[in-house]
């Protein structure tokens, strides 16, 4: 049995925690699609949808856009109007899923912003990842921001926080042996407590069928307020997702927040049509929305449930425009809007840690 020990002053020791997504943003970080092979020869259609997403976000807040090469920059500049608030960066990339390979920002009680840099191994070594694993260090350098580097695999899409000390995760993802086989549920509670400020870690069992992330929480269940949750449901009892989503719904209704109060849970249908891709069944979901300054962008698939999803989500976000955008081509790569974005919360830059913070000063495991 291994005992996890946090070393150095952790973010929590210094008053840092991860803000909820609906807190104010300074910017959204994104990575432009560039590899036609990864998109099974459908890169043009993916870029058309991605450009709509980036342009929509840039109407509300600054977009910091990573571009892997000259061709990507030419394409992005051609597709994005010049009057949009977009800052271009050049950085070698493997893929577009910056929610998972990018930094996770934390903010302290003085309003200062830092970031945590977790290891990324492409969901257990499924694809190439070495360039993408360098993204958080690049962002820290561009911002001049202090940060913590951790020798632990964690993707941003695997953790959903409510800004009030609670976080949702799935066992099917975090407990896979291809990520951190030495870590237990208690170890994750200590890690996410120390580095993201989580007081109460809430576990669901699993995610969508054939999701290459092994069931990220952001594809099925999301906080929309400190005590409000939306969760995916499948009405077709013959569908493999039905029993898993039903079990998650049951578990959520039994959960309590830090004050012992139940959460308010809203059911969100999955798309009705079964979508197939080059690697089998695809995991389309409306839960992979992205919340920004004054807006929420919700993926649409040309499905009969598209409008119902918008109708359910709209009253949950008073004061924000809920916008449906096409993601039928994008889902062919296995993810959607939340997977393609990473919010930089509002806050002044904290420089308390140097940029070469050693891994072994951040965390160790002891027998």
Q: Report, as residue numbers or ranges, the catalytic residues.
A: 339
Closest CA to 267 of 220, 225, 337, 226: 220
Kindly list the distances between the CA atom of residue 49 and the CA atoms of 10, 52, 86, 184, 185, in Å, as whole numbers in the listed order: 39, 5, 17, 39, 38
Question: What is the Cα–Cα distance from 89 to 52, expressed in whole angstroms?
Answer: 19
Contact 346, 26 (CB under 8 A): yes
The angle formed by the CA atoms of residues 93, 94 and 95, to the nearest 5 degrees, is 100
| In contact, 66 and 340? CB cutoff 8 Å | no
User: 43-82 in b/e burial notation, b at 16+ Cβ within 10 A?
Assistant: beebbebbbbbbbbbbbbbbbbbbbbeeebbebbeeebee
Over its C-alpha atoms, the chain yields an Rg (Å, rounded) of 19
> Do you know the residue count of the chain?
367
b/e 336-347 (16+ beta carbons within 10 angstroms → b): bbbbbbbbbbbb
Give the CA distances from residue 172 to residues 180, 241, 244, 284, 346, in Å, rounded to whole numbers and listed in that order. Answer: 12, 14, 11, 18, 32
Q: How far apart are CA 31 and CA 18, in angstroms?
A: 22
């Amino acid at each position: 049995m291994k005992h996890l020990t946090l070393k150095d002053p952790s973010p929590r020791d210094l008053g840092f925690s991860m803000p909820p997504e609906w807190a104010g943003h300074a910017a959204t970080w994104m990575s432009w699609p560039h590899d036609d092979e990864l998109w099974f020869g459908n890169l043009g259609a993916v870029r058309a949808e991605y450009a709509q997403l980036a342009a929509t976000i840039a109407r509300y807040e600054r977009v910091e856009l990573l571009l892997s090469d000259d061709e990507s920059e030419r394409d992005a500049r051609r597709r994005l109007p010049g009057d949009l608030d977009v800052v271009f960066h050049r950085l070698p990339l493997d893929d577009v899923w910056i929610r998972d390979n990018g930094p996770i920002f934390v903010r302290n009680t003085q309003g200062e912003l830092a970031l945590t840099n977790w290891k990324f191994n492409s969901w257990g070594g499924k694809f190439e990842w070495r360039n993408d694993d360098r993204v958080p260090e690049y962002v820290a350098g561009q911002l001049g921001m202090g940060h913590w580097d951790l020798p632990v695999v964690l993707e941003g899409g695997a953790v959903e926080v409510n800004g009030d000390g609670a976080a949702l995760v799935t066992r099917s993802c975090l407990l896979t042996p291809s990520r951190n086989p030495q870590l237990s549920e208690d170890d994750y509670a200590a890690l996410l407590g120390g580095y993201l400020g989580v007081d109460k870690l809430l576990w669901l069992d699993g995610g969508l069928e054939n999701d290459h992330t092994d069931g990220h929480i952001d594809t099925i269940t999301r906080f929309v307020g400190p005590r409000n949750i939306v969760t995916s449901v499948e009405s077709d009892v013959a569908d493999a997702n039905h029993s898993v989503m039903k079990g998650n719904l049951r578990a959520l209704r039994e959960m309590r927040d830090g004050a012992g109060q139940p959460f308010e849970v809203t059911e969100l249908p999955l798309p009705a049509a079964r979508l197939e891709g080059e690697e089998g069944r695809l995991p389309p979901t409306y839960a992979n929305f992205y919340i920004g300054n004054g807006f929420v962008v919700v993926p649409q698939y040309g499905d009969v449930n598209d409008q119902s999803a918008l109708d359910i989500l709209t009253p949950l976000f008073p004061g924000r425009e809920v916008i449906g955008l096409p993601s039928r081509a994008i889902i062919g790569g296995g993810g959607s809007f939340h997977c393609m974005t990473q919010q930089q919360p509002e806050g002044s830059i904290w420089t308390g840690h140097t940029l070469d913070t050693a891994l072994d000063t951040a965390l160790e495991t002891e027998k």
